[in-house]
Amino acid sequence: MAEYVSSCLLDGVAATIWIERANACRLFPPWAEPIRLKQAPSGKYPLFIESWRVHAGRMLSDAGDQHAWAARWSILAGMSLGATVGLVGGPLLAMAASQRTSQAFGRLYRSWSEQAATPGSTYEEVAFTLPAQLRFTRDRRKYAFVLAMFTDSPIALWGDVALRCGYRKKLAHIARPSARRCEVQTLTGEPICALEWRGRAAVLEPARALPSLLGERTTAPLLGRLDDQHFAVSRLERAFDAAGARSAGVSATVTLAHGIAEGLEPLSASVRPLSRAAPWGAFHFSDVPTRLAYPAFGNASGNPLPSP
């Protein structure tokens, strides 16, 4: 199996806001806890927010082309769903329902996959992460715990479920009413969050300076939640210093409403541009080469889980 699932280019904006540390502790599952950060304001804890547009995406799996991959995963899920529905009518009906549902799922997700790979096609996502470390283990590495993630792509949502990344993506309406504003709403139109960036962008030169400013903010492995006992660890590798990638510090305003995560209160905050004087500042980026690695698994007792 290939080490990486997929690759793409990302355009977006990132900002850090500060929440009360006592409130942050309530956002973690039993097997993770916040990391103490020396540079954090007293009593505060960082919540990292990224809004990105995905384009030029392609599968890197050695399991065949991405459309066949999407169809196969969906057939398996459809078989499970169809069998569950059909069991109320007995084994024969369960088998028939399983076959019909699996075929329908396969056609549906292959169609979505082919549309997503069309030149010029894009989709939007917004991610919320918190610096974290594992509990009940000697592993002292720093992780980025995925508190919540929203997408407007059904195939991206399905990929999270099929691979068990633990991002717990939710479908949402993600709109860009202007070139420098992103709004996220539930499928019923209720606001979730908004990011707006403004002012003349301060270009970060040279490009290789950005990783040093960010430190581990964008390189820490992603810690996904499968349930209260199990987790997944994956890597979203982004080459901010690649040829053709661009980045700039920007001022930003972040507004959080209800619906992101239980225990996270609504708030609004202004964020300074990223710079050496403001290492937690906001920045815009474009054409950043990105690869997603296959996840590894673990649980609260330290025992490994089988790969998907």
- Residue 199's domain is classified under what CATH number? 2.40.400.10
Residue 4 belongs to some domain of the structure: no
DSSP three-state, residue 298: strand
Residues whose CB falls within 8 Å of the CB of residue 172, separated by 6 or more in sequence, listed in order:
126, 150, 151, 152, 184, 185, 186, 187, 192
In Å, the largest CA–CA distance within the chain is 68
**In the chain, what is the straight-line distance between the N-terminal and C-terminal CA atoms, in Å?**
11
Question: What is the C-alpha R_g of the chain?
Answer: 20
Which pLDDT tens digit goes with each residue over 67-107?
A: 555 555 555 444 444 433 333 444 444 444 445 544 554 55
Helix (H) or strand (E) holding 47: strand 44-59
Residue 94 belongs to some domain of the structure: no
Residue 88 belongs to some domain of the structure: no
Q: What is the pLDDT of residue 81?
A: 42
Domain count, the chain: 1
For 156-184, the DSSP string reads HHHHHHHHT----EEE-EEEEEETTEEEE
DSSP three-state, residue 272: coil
**Sign of CA pseudo-dihedral 23, 24, 28, 34:** negative
Q: What's the predicted TM-score (pTM) here? A: 0.81
Residue 106 belongs to some domain of the structure: no
Q: What is the pLDDT of residue 218?
A: 86
Q: What is the pLDDT of residue 189?
A: 95
C-beta neighbour count of 278 within 10 angstroms: 14
Per-10-residue mean pLDDT, the chain, length 308: 81 94 90 85 92 86 51 49 40 45 51 53 94 85 95 91 93 95 96 89 56 77 94 94 87 94 93 88 93 91 54
Q: What is the pLDDT of residue 55?
A: 93
Cβ 47 vs Cβ 20: under 8 Å: no
Q: Print the domain residue range for 278.
A: 9-62+121-299
Cβ 274 vs Cβ 282: under 8 Å: yes
Residue 166 belongs to some domain of the structure: yes
Residue 95 belongs to some domain of the structure: no
The alpha helices in the chain, defined as continuous H runs, are 21-25, 66-86, 91-116, 154-163, 209-214
Q: What is the pLDDT of residue 302?
A: 61
Residue 108 belongs to some domain of the structure: no
d(CA 224, CA 207): 30
Which pLDDT tens digit goes with each residue over 181-209?
A: 999 999 999 999 999 998 655 555 545 56
Residue 110 belongs to some domain of the structure: no
